[in-house]
Structure 1
Amino acid sequence: MSKPIFPLLRELFALGLIGLFFYLFLFVDFQDISFNIPSELLTVNTMFLSILLEAIPFILLGVFVSALIQTFVSEEFIKRVLPKNAIIALLPAALLGAIFPICECAIVPIVRRLLKKGMPLHLGVVFLVGAPILNPVVFASTLYAFGFHVKIAYARMGLAFVLSIIIGFLFYLLFKNKDQLKMTQELITGHSHGAEPAGKLKATLFHASDEFFEMGKFLILGAFIASLFQTFLDRTILTEIGTNPFLSPAVMMGFGYILSLCSEADAFVAASFGGSFTTGSLLAFLVYGPMLDLKNTIMLFAFFKAKFVAAFIAIVTITVYLSILVYQQIFL
């Protein structure tokens, strides 16, 4: 009888910590505290909170969508709606990403759930890299951030669409849809909640709660590491090489990886570099960052096999960089 108490106490403790965090953030003015805190630590704190608060709403969205998939979508349905031909299925998988207004903060739990439900690995990869960019919210924010430079918004969508299909195809050749998920207790026991309508609603809430706390710890770790990089990285070095057509895309890709911005907001940061960096390097930032950053790298390592994550990092990085070089040669 005592065993079920420990998970409950753990969740209550986690909720208490979250409550304390929001109380301190909303009601405590740290400037009134007479501690001599270094300005760098205050900057780390500010960056950490901004990344966390920006990401949490999308994590919540992602875990609820994941929970709905777990509860209401059957393996038979996924197998029925996807084309049987693995290559032809790449196109509808890329188009599927345009339906969900989901950023990279929320995409990992959704893709993991779809893979558990029977979606082929290479189609999950298409959704993983394409959905954070190919949605109307990101398109609108990019269009607004760059004003009259509408070609950047259209180029971002076009590159993301084409690259998601190419990356998915490369993963099909590399892994042949072998399972790359780490074994979890849920996968081992096959645990599932009730199937009645009322039970399904309860099951959805249970799944969302479990997934939020599971994902949340990796989000916090990724946000903290990203805040350290943002604080101590010397940005003047970046601007000195911003006009180099070969180095600047690589630099901005690294910058997008470190900043770990949500795809709905990164266009405004990219626009602020418009006077210092080439158009190609801005596109590299806008395409690469949502596909791969510090936050989702940590999440990927937590829930996927290390070989898959290493291949994902290498393929996405090389594919995006080469595509930007080709784009610069043809269109700029």
Structure 2
Amino acid sequence: MPPAPATQPGSWRFGSVEWLALLLLLLVVFRDPLADTVSDPRLQTWTTVFVSVLVQAMPFLVFGVVLSAVIAVFVPRSFWARALPRHPAAAVPAAGLAGVILPGCECGSVPIAGSLIRRGVTPAAALAFLLAAPAINPIVLTATAVAFPGNPEMVAARAAASLTVAIAMGWLWLRLGKSEWIRLPRRSDLDDSSRARAFWAACRHDVMHAGGFLVIGAAAAATINVVVPESWLQGLAADPVLSVLVLATLAVLLSICSEADAFVAASLSQFSLTSRLVFLVVGPMVDLKLISMQAGVFGRRFASRFAPVTFVTAVVVGTGVGVVLW
């Protein structure tokens, strides 16, 4: 029996990425009719939150995926040797500050950090960028200023605390991190002789890999929004210690995109400014969808160690900055 003819390099077929894009498009277009078919208000809330998280995060995920593919395919390794200080300890703060110029959220920073490591950037510097970029880029800081018009110091507090956590985690990785904890998937697609084909293959891979974990995180966040009673938060806001821990945990569970979390924090007016600052510092660094995406890109061993330590560091630094200011 003759073998099936191979697919021609230039041919196009409707694959998994196209199906995912079509599904997301249909969810957005038919969001209202789908909500009307669900009679239970709790299910309506779940559907609304799930779709909202995807709609918020997907543009930035796509931005990060495209930028990641550009870094992986078109940027030579020698560029990073020139762009960052050679000493790893000095490269960490430099990479953290680089987050100021990239307008993206945590969904895009994960694949970008993976590409940086593949291109020879020390993992500590890539991880500092991963944590800093979603919290100190111009879009996020502008949104924070708009959300807190009566507290302009919140912008500086968020930037300072987030950058401090990112640099501290980078230096901590230099001290205690092990290379075997990071297991980037093998990317034979990047070895294609055609840069155009390698670029498209890298985009397809990252959209499916990171996008699948984003869907899981969005579903978890929607479930938490439905399950946790809002009345529980009212009695905890008065306690200064519990309020910090509650909002830090809430930031992890809600998984709100960093471009939108300032408005949510501003609406939690029953909580102190310090606890709301912790909410803004923790959210872009440790949340359900981000942990899921980190596990998909860097491996479960990495996520199980990196996320808890980042959470504790963010709570401590955010609280410290808040106590100093307020």
Cα offset for 1:239?
2.2
Per the alignment, residue 81 of structure 1 pairs with 83
Q: Report what 2:191 is aligned to.
A: 192
CA distance in 1, matches of 2:160, 2:36: 50
Q: Which residue of 2 aligns with 1:181?
A: 182
Specify every segment of 5 or more residues in structure 2 that has no aligned partner in the other structure, as ranges: none
Supply the distance in 2 between the matched residues of 1:331 and 1:32 (Cα, whole angstroms): 47
Change (3 A) 1:130 1:191: closer
Q: 1:117 to 1:329 in 2, by over 3 A?
A: same
1:326 corresponds, among 312, 320, 325, to: 320
Instruction: Give the letter aligned to residue 219 of structure 1.
Output: L
Cα distance in 2 between the residues matched to 1:183 and 1:151: 39
Task: Check whether the contact 1:97–1:132 (CA below 8 A) recurs between aligned residues.
Answer: yes
Deviation at 1:215, TM superposition (A): 1.4
**Following the alignment from structure 1 to structure 2, what is the Cα–Cα distance between the partners of residues 150 and 20?**
41
Shift of 1:42: 1.6
Give the fraction of aligned pairs with identical amino acids, expressed as a percent.
Answer: 31
Residues 295 and 3 from structure 1, CA distance in 2 versus in 1: closer, same or farther, beyond 3 angstroms?
Answer: farther
**Partner residue of 1:303 out of 275, 297, 302:** 297
Q: Structure 1 residues 294, 68: CA separation in 2 closer, same or farther (over 3 Å shift)?
A: same
Counterpart of 2:42?
40
**Cα displacement (A) at 1:210:** 2.2
Partners of 1:112 and 1:181 within 8 A in 2? no
TM-score by length of 1: 0.89
Q: Tell me if the contact between 2:244 and 2:278 (Cα under 8 Å) persists in the aligned partners.
A: yes
State the Cα distance separating 1:325 from its structure 2 match. Answer: 3.1
Deviations 1:15-39 (A, max 9, x none): 2454245335424724665xx7322
Distance 1:101 1:310 in 2: 27
Are the structure 2 counterparts of residues 279 and 68 from structure 1 closer, same or farther at C-alpha, using a change threshold of 3 Å? same
Structure 1: stretches of 5+ with no match in the other structure: none
Shift of 1:205: 2.6
Q: State the AA in 2 paired with 1:235.
A: E
After superposition, where does 1:145-224 map in structure 2 within 5 Å? 145-175=147-177, 178-186=179-187, 189=188, 191-194=190-193, 199-224=194-219
Please give the alpha-carbon distance, in whole angstroms, between the structure 1 residues aligned to 2:13 and 2:224. 31
The alignment yields a C-alpha RMSD, in angstroms, of 2.3
Where has structure 1 moved over 6 Å in runs of 4 or more?
Answer: none
Residue-pair matches, total: 320
> Per-residue deviation at 1:73?
1.3
2-structure distance, mates of 1:138, 1:65: 19
C-alpha distance in 2 between matches for 1:78 and 1:88: 14
Aligned partners of 1:123, 1:14: CA distance in 2, in Å? 31
Flag the 1:170–1:3 CA change in 2: closer, same or farther, 3 A.
farther
- How many Å apart are 1:250 and its aligned residue? 1.1
Residue-by-residue CA offset, 1:285-307 (whole Å, 9 max, x unaligned) = 10100011110101111222333
> Which residues in structure 2 correspond to 1:50-69 (within 5 Å)?
50-69=52-71
The answer (yes or no) to whether the contact 2:127–2:170 under 8 Å persists in 1 is: yes
**TM alignment of 1:234-273, pairs within 5 A:** 234-273=229-268
SS for the counterpart of 2:89 is coil
- Cα distance in 2, alignment partners of residues 161 and 293 from structure 1: 18
Write the distance in 2 (CA, Å) between the matches of 1:115 and 1:14.
Answer: 25
Match of 1:19 among 8, 18, 22: 22
Offset of residue 167 of structure 1? 1.3
Task: Measure, in 2, the Cα distance between the counterparts of 1:137 and 1:157.
Answer: 12
Please name the residue that 1:115 is paired with: 117
